[in-house]
Amino acid sequence: MAYNAAGAPPDIPLLQRGDHPSLRAAVIDAIRDELLNGMLPPGQRISVKRLHQRFGKGLSAIREALCALAAEGMVIVEDQRGFRAAPVSARDLEDLTRVRIEIECLAIRDAIAHGDREWEALLLAEFHRLAGIPSRDATDSRRISRAYEEQHRRFHDALISACGSDWTKTFHTTLHHHSERYRKLVVSYYAASHVRDILGEHRALMEAALRRDADLATRLITQHIEDTAKILLRHGIAAQAERQSTA
């Protein structure tokens, strides 16, 4: 394959700042995206040189981004051996699920207590956008479409956007990223053997929040998060991925 002047394959556009506040932030998000979408599978060693070739950015920028992702727990730094995508496990999934539920419930209660009309309008708008996007990739029904992924994140962000605690929001975002790694493992099972009205779950969440029913909203988000984890654990997907990542 012929590489361009910056060392990137010709079919991969050089990474640009775009809407990011800095190029560093763009590099972090680009690598995180590869971790979330399985291009850097759990446990796999990460080649700084290869990422440099893919994104056309300096080696130091790549290393800084990987260190930032290590601080989030998405990447493991190994002494004298470089970087590795963080492994997954059934135990980690159970712990992640428990903590995510606690943070989501805390954030939703605070958002419902402090949300104003603008919050209500934002939540309603983000749900309607979510409802209008097909969840499956048009070329591969086993994959979630990129547009749906982005809108799904925006809906959950809108749900807790009126929360007054920046720390809670930061933890919410980090836990959501880690949950996405596991959720990608379970996608095929939704289509193959499970009937689950995901849009209905999101609609019920929105309606409970708009009615300011914090008790119902927290019960719904708890069930929403637990159901995905139960599917993974029931089929041993997390344990299988753990064995593959440590092989």
Q: How far is CA 46 from CA 9, 25, 60, 87, 242, in A?
A: 18, 19, 14, 12, 17
Contact yes or no for 10/4 (Cβ under 8 A): yes
Count the residues in the chain.
247
Structure tokens at 200: 């209905």
Token code pair at residue 211: 């009615």
Whole-angstrom distance, CA of residue 40 vs CA of residue 66: 12
Q: Over the stretch 159-199, which tens digit does the pLDDT of each residue have? A: 999 999 999 999 999 999 888 888 776 654 444 445 678 89
> Residue 119 has what pLDDT?
98
User: Please, what are the domains in the chain?
Assistant: 23-85 (1.10.10.10), 90-245 (1.20.120.530)
Q: List pLDDT tens digits, range 31-65.
A: 888 888 778 888 889 988 888 887 776 778 888 88
Q: Where are the alpha helices (DSSP H) in the chain?
A: 23-36, 48-55, 59-71, 90-114, 117-131, 146-159, 166-193, 198-210, 214-234, 237-245
